[in-house]
Chain A
């Protein structure tokens, strides 16, 4: 009888169960129906992507100054290149663009600080973003202080205006939304019904009618002789609209906090505002961040509607550039550029919100 004293060397797993071929078999060609789907999918991909890549990259023209530099066989990115400054800053005077850049950069730094979980002192940065930054941004963008030239709001436009509308709408809507959400959960019947009517009204009508209202009816509501800046009218409309949606997100977060939290706080002798401000809202707001980011994404996309009341946001200024007689016939390039810009912003925000959802979901997962 023989006894082996050493192990038989490990053999590699059969090629049918691991490795790329097995993966292909399992995921793409596991049966006749699946194979058919894969082939149809590949064909679809080819039909969609091949001409697009051909148009956007291979046959495209990238450098030049006028439309004569374009061969017209593919995309003419020269158009976007020539107009890039306008697309981003609108008609903001060229010598003052550093002001916009400073605001953009500081905003990006603040948001990055808030978004990266490892960095400390979140609370102070958040307070600075919500309270100090708007003042700073207003002074920088509008001017009139510290020897800065005044830049009228009708010169603002492009991506800059889109960001301003979205961020201001959001920051202004947050406190109103919190108050409305608390009011809707209140036990005082009049306060509650007022909040319900307010929220349901703004949620029930399209943003475009609100913007129409803000641009047509707001001047009627003001005392005779007082005129409201057009940008401010749009901002008021957007803020009212957004605060209603915000209130619903916040209400969802408040409902997720067990009643015991508030009762425990009451047992410690806290009054209503202490209970809300110190116990309930801090817990609720943390759970609401994904929802808030999602409403921000839809607000960001909705800001494009302001072009209908005559403001030139990113889409508005692209649309205006398309009717320039020197650059007729580049609609596709303009739209693809604008779509790409919006997509990058919205997609990264939605990815961030998904990441947060996963991160905050610990412990509740089944």
Chain B
């Protein structure tokens, strides 16, 4: 049997730096060596510096008493609590302002983004004016504006702005009535739960029936009615077991009700308004990305206008909108760390600010803070990858 001809005529072997695999290996070993050397250098220096300053490393400080108060806390907290607890309080405050900010920004962003495409010239111009103004001014400046120029300029508690004598706004914050739940209120969350489960079942049943017979019910409207109607019905039947505790002026300040501190208001307003301008642009470009032929084709199939939007345009627009939208949500969460500039007790302000200054444990504190944000980012990008894989165009 004839031997296969050699690909390369036998000759002197090429030197090792001409061999791709060996070169890659050497290159990567060099990189590892450089990174390791850099780390060793830094760690050595850090140990020397820490020893010179008499700081012991480790997470033991988390069990020490913090000794400072925090203006807003979602869990029990006093100055007797530990540094570990300040971390949790800060984290919860960050999550609170981020969650409410995401909600408001989405709402404003979608309204403005759709208004930007309005056939009404004035409305479209107003929307693009909003986008261009708020997108091009730094967020920190907007936070300062709301905090120092607007909320700090409000009247004192005695001359509060009053909205229907139940909501009060003054320099110390916003005072809202607080619902007091009487016995029997437990039925209402239960009714909501039942309504939600029933709606999901209805939607699934409706989809199966639609695929089998081609008939469909307006399932979304029915379930919307169910989710709103059933709890309302139970509320009326049980005799409205809720009273409202209205804030009252006593002395120099309001008592009772829910107090929203001005730092929260400023941060929340600025974050929502700033992020909404980006979301509006995303929504606009997402809707414009669906070519008009899609709408025309759907109309040619004589789908009614509502179904054209719901079955053809919106699903395709969402495919374009969702990825940049999640990255805006992520930006909002990261930007909520600007709270530290006005003293809203978020993670960075409470933990990377006060706790770091009091304990001097710079490395541990910064590492924990960064770990929190990294975890959130990773979770969101995992979700993104999952979503992208789910909605990706299946091309032949």
Contacts and interface: CB of A to CB of B under 8 A. Distances in A.
Given A191-B28, A347-B136, A27 B366 contact: no
Interface string A282-322: 00000000000000010001101101100000010001001
Contacts of A297: 136
B366 A212 contact: yes
Contacts of B145: 335, 339
Contacts of A223: 45, 48
Nearest to A30: B119
A205 interface: yes
A319 B144 contact: yes
Interface stretch (B176-184, B245-253, B313-321, B330-338): B330-338
A6 to B, nearest CB: 42
B24 interface: yes
Contact of B49 (A27, A38, A207, A220): A220
Interface stretch (B201-209, B222-230, B370-378): B370-378
A212 B31 contact: no
B348 A190 contact: no
Contact of A206 (B137, B152, B335, B363): B335
Given A41-B122, A204-B373, A335-B149, A217 B363 contact: yes
Contact of B137 (A30, A308, A339): A339
A315 B141 contact: yes
B27 A191 contact: yes
A304 B152 CA distance: 21
A41 B50 CA distance: 62
A57 interface: no
B45 A222 contact: yes
Interface string A193-223: 0100000110111111100110011011111
Given A190-B32, A206-B337, A27 B119 contact: yes
A346 interface: yes
A204 B338 CA distance: 15
B120 A208 contact: no
Contact of B334 (A194, A205, A308, A347): A205
A345 B374 CA distance: 31
A126 B22 CA distance: 37
A361 interface: no
Interface in A216-232: 216-217, 219-224
Contacts of A322: 148
Given A190-B28, A343-B136, A220 B362 contact: yes
A37 interface: yes
Interface string B144-161: 110011001100000000
Interface string B28-68: 10011001000000100110111010000000000000000
For B48, B52, B334, the residue with the greatest tally of chain A CB atoms inside 10 Å of its CB is B334
A322 B144 CA distance: 12
For B49, B144, B338, the residue with the greatest tally of chain A CB atoms inside 10 Å of its CB is B144
Contacts of B50: 220
B267 interface: no
Given A37-B120, A45-B126, A224 B144 contact: no
Interface residues of B, number: 56
Interface in A16-72: 27-28, 30, 34, 37-38, 41-42, 44-45
Interface string A268-280: 0000000000000
B137 A342 contact: yes
Contact of B141 (A27, A42, A213, A342): A342
B132 interface: yes
A221 B46 contact: yes
Nearest to A40: B123
A238 B352 CA distance: 18
A38 B337 contact: no
Contacts of B126: 41, 44-45
Interface string A329-355: 001100100110011001100100000
Contact of B118 (A37, A221, A302, A319): A37
Nearest to A162: B138
A366 interface: yes
Nearest to B377: A204
A350 B28 contact: no
Interface residues of A, number: 56
A127 interface: no
A219 B144 CA distance: 30
A219 B141 contact: no
B28 A335 contact: no
Contact of B144 (A30, A189, A208, A335): A335
Interface string B327-354: 0000000110110110000001000100
Given A37-B118, A41-B122, A343-B133, A220 B373 contact: no
Contacts of B356: 212, 216
B291 interface: yes
B120 A41 contact: yes
B295 interface: no
A188 interface: yes
Contacts of B144: 315, 319, 335
Given A34-B120, A315-B138, A213 B42 contact: no
B369 interface: yes
B122 A38 contact: yes
Nearest to A315: B141
Contacts of B45: 220-224
B119 A301 contact: no
A38 B370 CA distance: 48
For A27, A194, A212, the residue with the greatest tally of chain B CB atoms inside 10 Å of its CB is A212
A297 B378 CA distance: 25
The 7 closest A-B pairs by CB, nearest first: A204-B377, A346-B136, A27-B121, A206-B334, A301-B138, A190-B28, A206-B337
9 contacts: A41-B122, A190-B32, A208-B337, A216-B356, A220-B45, A304-B141, A307-B140, A338-B141, A347-B132
Given A209-B366, A346-B135, 10 more contacts: A200-B377, A222-B49, A223-B48, A224-B49, A304-B141, A315-B138, A315-B144, A322-B148, A339-B142, A342-B136
